[in-house]
Amino acid sequence: MDFEIPSHVREIRYRVQTFIESEIYPIENVLEEAGSESREAMRSLMEKAKEAGLWALGHPQEIGGQGLPFIDYVFVNEVIGRSPAAMVALGTHSLQDSLMLKLHASEPWREKYLIPLVQGEIFPSFAMTEPGVASSDPTQLQTRAVLDGNDWVINGRKWFTTGANRAAYTTVMVRTETEDVPVHDAFSMIVVPTNTPGYEIIRDVKVMGERQGHCEVDYKNVRVPVENLLGPRGGGFKIAQQRLGPGRIFHCMRWLGQAQRAFDLMCERANERVAFGKTLGEHQQIQKFIFDSAAEIQQSRMLTLHAAQKIDQGNEARVEIALIKVAGASMLHNVIDRAIQVHGALGVTEDTPLESMYRQARFARIYDGPDEVHVSSASRRILRSYKAGDGWDFGLH
């Protein structure tokens, strides 16, 4: 595989990066705050992105996007990751949900939600994780949906339903089948409008000192029509895997964007700051920080692009995705941590983006599956390959 950015992608990638640096960086502090000023600033950015032709780049054209092919969009997503606000500002936040609706929603729900979702007029949310349940093993999820006539009746509690406090609907993973059904065929996804009676947001859970819309939601006899089922009954895990594979690629590319930004800040600081008669960059310890960071970023980038190529070829790439999820999260933490160290006290203040990035980096080792689950699943797959006599040739995987 050629790890270089394709020539036909460089222009749009550069335009996206320029937009982020000129339009988003200067107001990141405003965008991080809750309230009307932040919402108005984001709406203004969304309109600017549409006017600049940078909106919904990866969404299929038939649903209102610009149809950038998967691999091309992967390279663009790398620069989108430089600022957390860029996902919403450029309309990329809804990609996984819009694809789920396009592929699996009933016609009435596609008509109601799909175009407004792609245009940024409404926001989605997704509910899988539950408090009190080890969600690293989602077969233990307790939220249930029972068919009552032409309605599903849902009871249970979810949390980390990100964006539920502004979403038009939540796609909820629930158990719909009885205990005698094989567990991986026992769960379904159901679309629940957030204004449905019984859908109650309990709190916006504070995460690493910030409230960012990671909501805890109670479902008390929530009743929705049978047509709200997403895909086939019992197909929840298959749809989830379809959603999570490419989604993890996008996460890891955005992490590379964050790491690149932290690396830039670290190197600039190392060249400018003087201590003990020379710049920080002339001290061997700081040179080691820079070397280690450059190596880890490059390693993670190549792993991620290799996994993206596998996905693009129709391969599930289970091992490759596990590798990038664990290695990418570790890389992100390490690079940001070194950048903070080079900045000293300044690095833990709001005067640089590093302290906020650091909190998100710690969270990266948990969401989309904790590191330990990915380590275990990848190792089992590799060992099964050896057990079958196939081994694991890195030149062929």
Write the pLDDT tens digit of every residue in 85-102.
999 999 999 998 998 888
pLDDT of 32 = 84
CATH 1.10.540.10 residue ranges in the chain? 7-105
Confidence check: pLDDT of 1 > 70: no
User: How far apart, in whole angstroms, are the C-alpha atoms of residue 76 and residue 68?
Assistant: 9
User: Residue holding tokens 């997503």?
Assistant: 77
Write the pLDDT tens digit of every residue in 307-329.
999 999 988 889 999 999 999 99
pLDDT of 316 = 86
SS (H, E, C) 223-292: EEEHHHEECCCCCHHHHHHHHHHHHHHHHHHHHHHHHHHHHHHHHHHHHHCEECCEEHHHCHHHHHHHHH
pLDDT of 3 = 77
pLDDT of 396 = 82
User: How far apart, in whole angstroms, are the C-alpha atoms of residue 268 and residue 251?
Assistant: 26
Q: pTM for this one?
A: 0.91
**Which segments of the chain does DSSP mark as H helices, in order?**
7-19, 28-32, 36-51, 70-80, 86-89, 95-104, 107-109, 115-118, 236-272, 284-312, 318-343, 354-363, 371-387
Stretch 361-381: mean pLDDT: 91
pLDDT of 244 = 79
CATH 2.40.110.10 residue ranges in the chain? 124-230
Q: Which CATH architecture has domain 238-387?
A: Up-down Bundle (1.20)
Other beta carbons less than 10 A from residue 48's beta carbon: 16
Q: How far is CA 102 from CA 107, 112, 189, 199, in A?
A: 9, 12, 14, 24
Confidence check: pLDDT of 213 > 90: no
Other beta carbons less than 10 A from residue 45's beta carbon: 21
Fold of 7-105: Butyryl-Coa Dehydrogenase, subunit A; domain 1 (1.10.540)
Write the pLDDT tens digit of every residue in 247-286.
889 999 999 999 999 999 999 999 999 999 999 999 999 9
Write the pLDDT tens digit of every residue in 115-131.
999 999 999 999 999 99
The C-alpha angle with vertex 86 and arms to 8 and 254, in degrees rounded to 5, equals 65
Fold of 124-230: Butyryl-CoA Dehydrogenase, subunit A; domain 2 (2.40.110)
pLDDT of 209 = 77
Least confident of 58-72, 237-251, 271-285, 339-353: 237-251
**Per-chain mean pLDDT for the chain:** 93
CATH 1.20.140.10 residue ranges in the chain? 238-387
Residues 6 or more apart whose CB falls under 8 angstroms from that of 325 comprise 248, 251, 252, 368, 369, 371, 374
